[in-house]
Amino acid sequence: MPRTLTPRPACRLHPPAVICPLGDDAATIVDRLFGGQRRLAISDAFTPGRPLPLGRVTTPLPDDGAWPVAHRSRNNRLLAAALTRLAPTLADFRARHPEARIGVILGTSTSGIGETEAALAERRRLGDWPADFHYQRHEIGSPSAFVAEHLGLTGPAYTLSTACSSSAKALASGRRLLAAGACDAVITGGADSLCGLTVNGFSALEAVSEAPCLPFSANRDGINLGEAAALFLMTPDEGGIQLAGYGETSDAHHISAPRPDGAGARAAMQTALEMAGLTPGDVDYLNLHGTATTQNDLMEAKAVSALFDTPPPCSSTKSLTGHTLGACGALEAAFCWLALDAGRLPPAVNDGEPDPALPPLPLSAGGHAALRYALSNAFAFGGNNIALLLEKTP
């Protein structure tokens, strides 16, 4: 049974607004998520002559032609598409709380770098910057500044960039703002768009697979990259689905490789559980970071095995969407939200070949299940680890 040691502040996550390779409306995303549908397309758009599976968003995005030049980027267009989905929830909240102080806390690792890449190419070709070039598009703070200005919000607005843990850390930061009474609500989550810098950067690390990725398989050989935006309205209300806990650690083992024994990852999960007053046995589903690289999956399997006497059903949804980098923490928290809401398990999708070098994990076969607690992991360069604990309240 849950063991709540002290009352914890309420932190309700309202229905997520998501645009990702699985789609941009909840019904489609639910069908593809729980149906285990890979949505990766083969493309050499960023690696000419080397086709790679990429998780690209194919649904139409808002036109940014009338926006201030500093806000025109694919990253912000992804956010604008997600904001369209969030609009009814936000409008209802603002109608009930017209004087609410609303913050914007987002995570990203690319911001508008793709547009700067195109501008640099034109400068090399023509000798000058494009007329509409503005350096603020690729500033890390651009996403939160855009959302706050787009919505006319004047509360705290800042962006976190800690590589692949960025948007998960944004959710934790939003919860802290609510607990401190600094905001009455927070728009939180993150976005990352595909660009040459990240695709070629991960390729240079020899971390990219030329085939659809295989998390926790004996045949895994690297990640597929993707793009997404995922947003939540977070409020200090009881009920619904709560962000019940989080755990953040930094083991600083290596600039890019994870600590082999998974100690930092284990501590992050343990801290999230302790914040929620839970034990490992209370967790009903675990969304693994599961990049399908040799070292990450080994480290994470060790961390899970060390923490759980009997691990819960688990899966990595990156086999469906690709690794969406700074957006993955919020995106996979959204998948956990959908799992809790629907009472369904996202299936683990790989080639069915277990790796005998890994501690065994009960990879999910999908299907319906009684779910109350879901734990979601996000790990990043520099040993930056975070785990989020979501609860479906009775």
In total, the chain counts a number of residues equal to 394
pLDDT in tens, the chain (394 residues): 444 445 678 999 999 999 999 999 999 999 999 999 999 999 999 999 999 999 999 999 999 999 999 999 999 999 999 999 999 999 999 999 999 999 999 999 999 999 999 999 999 999 999 999 999 999 999 999 999 999 999 999 999 999 999 999 999 999 999 999 999 999 999 999 999 999 999 999 999 999 999 999 999 999 999 999 999 999 999 999 999 999 999 988 888 888 999 999 999 999 999 999 999 999 999 999 999 999 999 999 999 999 999 999 999 999 999 999 999 999 999 999 999 999 999 999 999 999 999 999 999 999 999 999 999 999 999 889 999 999 999 9
Active-site hit among 14, 71, 138, 289:
289
- Whole-angstrom CA distances from 199 to 7, 42, 132, 312 are 44, 13, 25, 33
Helical ranges in 97-161 per DSSP H? 113-126, 142-151
Q: Is 164 a catalytic residue?
A: yes
Q: What are phi and psi of 344, to 5 degrees?
A: -135, 150
Instruction: Please give the span between the terminal C-alpha atoms of the chain, in angstroms, as a whole number.
Output: 14
Q: Could you tell me the pTM of the whole model?
A: 0.97
Which structure tokens are listed for 267? 């501590």
Say how far apart CA 262 and CA 306 lie, in whole Å: 9
Active-site hit among 11, 20, 164, 195:
164
- For CA atoms 377, 379, 334, 25, the dihedral sign is negative
Give strand ranges (E) for 152-227.
157-160, 185-192, 225-226
Pairing status of strand 285-287 against strand 314-315: parallel
- On whether the CB atoms of residues 272 and 243 are closer than 8 A, the answer is no
Nearest to 64 by CA among 75, 56, 53, 48: 75
Say how far apart CA 376 and CA 388 lie, in whole Å: 5
Q: Is 253 a catalytic residue?
A: no
pLDDT in the model for residue 252: 86
- What share of the chain in percent tops pLDDT 90? 94
Which structure tokens are listed for 313? 């059903």
Q: Is 150 a catalytic residue?
A: no
Return the axis-axis angle of helices 263-275 and 294-307, rounded to nearest 10°: 50
Active-site hit among 14, 134, 138, 323:
323
Say how far apart CA 325 and CA 341 lie, in whole Å: 25
Q: Which residues pair with 249 in a beta bridge?
A: 385
Say how far apart CA 339 and CA 330 lie, in whole Å: 14
Nearest to 135 by CA among 190, 71, 200, 74: 71
The reply to whether CATH 3.40.50.10860 applies to domain 12-392 is no
Nearest to 60 by CA among 107, 14, 23, 8: 23
Q: Where are the domains of the chain?
A: 12-392
Contacts of residue 304, defined as CB under 8 A and 6 or more positions apart, other chains included, come to 262, 266, 269, 286, 288, 311, 314, 359, 361
